[in-house]
Structure 1
Amino acid sequence: MDLETPPPDLYGRPRADRFFARLTAFGDWYSPALGSPGLRRSPRRAEARPVPPLYLVVVSHRVVAEDVVELRLADPSGGMLPGWQPGARIVLTLPSGRERHYSLCGDPADRHAYRVAVRRIADGGGGSVEIHDELHVGVRLRVRRPRNGFAFCGEEKVLFLAGGIGITPLLPMARAAQHAGVDWHLVHTGRTAAALPFTTELTALDPARVTVRTDDEHGLPDAAELLAHAPRGAAAYVCGPAPMLLAVQRALPASPAVSLHFERFGAAPILDGRPFRIRVGDETLTVPADRSALDVAREVRPELPYSCQQGFCGTCVLKVAAGTPEHRDRRLTAEQRAAGLLLPCVSRAAEGETLVLEV
């Protein structure tokens, strides 16, 4: 993608980019990949004692917007849950074995239940469809404890920008900002009002501080226009599709905001990829410059596990039997890379190289 040319809109297909380095740095510290053999927190830290997962039950499953359901998860015995701060996320192990990351969107003061919201993606990896169709009240799930790679710093002036389901980590931040007396404003963008969850809950905090902007009523949003809502000298917190993040990053220097915190859902844009090949079983497949090895491998092995698609969680780790990879994650240690481990969601190879993957 030409870095001087803005994306056609803020809702294009996400592709992965380098800006995720800040989030993966937090991930090295906060999010051990439980259940992934050989992975540890950081090459500079001692091996951590494993943290036991939670086993929670779905106590509520309700539609909160078009194609969006809200789940509330609680301890089956009614016990208190571990605390968390705005921006935290949990990892759900679904009945199928899929693992998926979701931001907590409830109130941190509520220690009796965790709340997440999930948009149905019919042509995605199957996790959201499974949640919508199968996670009824009473289903029990393995849940990795809250970890935070998108912490709210509580600056005096704040702008929150949410793209669609990206409202989930920002809603608790807005609530915290309101309680702390921060000068804040939140803009929630989406295609239609019916597709935006939690609008009533947001405006109840302070209707003067919330702007709901839909494409069908206002046209496609422009990053400069969105950032114009920022108080002078504000910190901007953004969560949404990759093109939205890229556009905001480009427009930030000319805006009233002075700093940027962000989280994306799904893979970030691949900006400097080159085609290479992977061998999976008996098949040799070409990985185009703008796709990940994980995407291509799953065309012939759809059962391959994955979760964050951003080199953060370690769920998709594979062994390289032959070939020289270009590691682009910040999860694996030097020792793990030397042993042949690879995170195919982000790592690549030189043009013309073939990686033989053990699956």
Structure 2
Amino acid sequence: MSLGTAILGAICGMLGSFAVLRKQSLLGDAISHAALPGIAISFLITGTKETNVLLLGALISGLIGAFWIRGIVKKTHLKTDTALGLILSVFFGFGMMLLTYIQKLPNSNQSGLEKFLFGQAATLLARDVWFMAIVTGVCVVVLLLFWKEFKILLFDADYAKTLGFDTKKIDVLITSFIVIAIILGLQTVGVVLMSAMLLAPAAAARQWTNSLSVMVILAAVFGAISGVMGTAISANQNNLSTGPVIVLVAAIFVIFSFIFSPSRGLLFRQIRFIQNRNNLKLHKTLAFMFDIAKNHKDISHPHTIKILNNFQGFTRRSLSKLEQKEYIRINGRMWSMTEKGYHFAANLYNQQVAKDD
């Protein structure tokens, strides 16, 4: 079971990266909900609870929903988010209506359809894991073969057209694989939570890098770890569903990345903000000293620190840092500007004048 959830997390992370970068965050939610009517209709037609049959119906329904979204966006004036919300609500409403109807049938207790709402990883069989592994392998091969096309379409579709690429086919290929990944996860995570499994690893990976290849790899790793850890936690605790626990572990990766990533993390952003503010204080203090020193023939002409403290932002701490940088010297309550500090302030002052002009 751990291997199956790890494979699922990896493929969702890889393909979710494209959904996140294409600003289609609701696509996973819409397709997973759009798959519900397909599951119900497959059961009504075949009368079997065979997982592969139900997932085939989900795949067909999900693909229909995905391409309806594309058609609505291209043939109407509606935005993508509107089309996603429309398909999500209509298909999910239709699916819930069919499930309500199925519950009243004599064989409804044998359907096993409820596992597709919130997932049931315990129902994964060895053949399901092998099937996930094969699909993941195919996805990796396709990504490697069409990496250049995917990358160009992702960042500049118009440029891709000028190079002669068939952007429609490439877009259909990406969308189809995203739908397949979502359908694979329905049995484990469920319709309701599948979008989080698709987006969370990719959102976490995006915080750590600006490289598409690195992001795809990181998202796959985050997704796989989330699957393994979520499965392990639910297996060691009673009455814990595997799907929700996997999603919660993935959410922890997202929160950790949002806070601690060096380039975009909130913590380091706040640290940089404080550093920039402190540097600004130092520069303002040094510029003020420069204004005093340049009016005297001797730049070491002494002035009391008390003068500086009459101005907002000029603190003893700022003076101490300037002394550490060897821009000024302090002797008791007297200060003097060094040659190094004078020339640095002169360059800073000239830059400021140029910007003002």
TM-score higher than 0.5 here? no
Considering fraction of residues, name the structure with more strand: 1
Question: TM (normalized to structure 1)?
Answer: 0.25
Q: Which has the larger radius of gyration?
A: 2
Q: Whose helix proportion is higher, 1 or 2?
A: 2
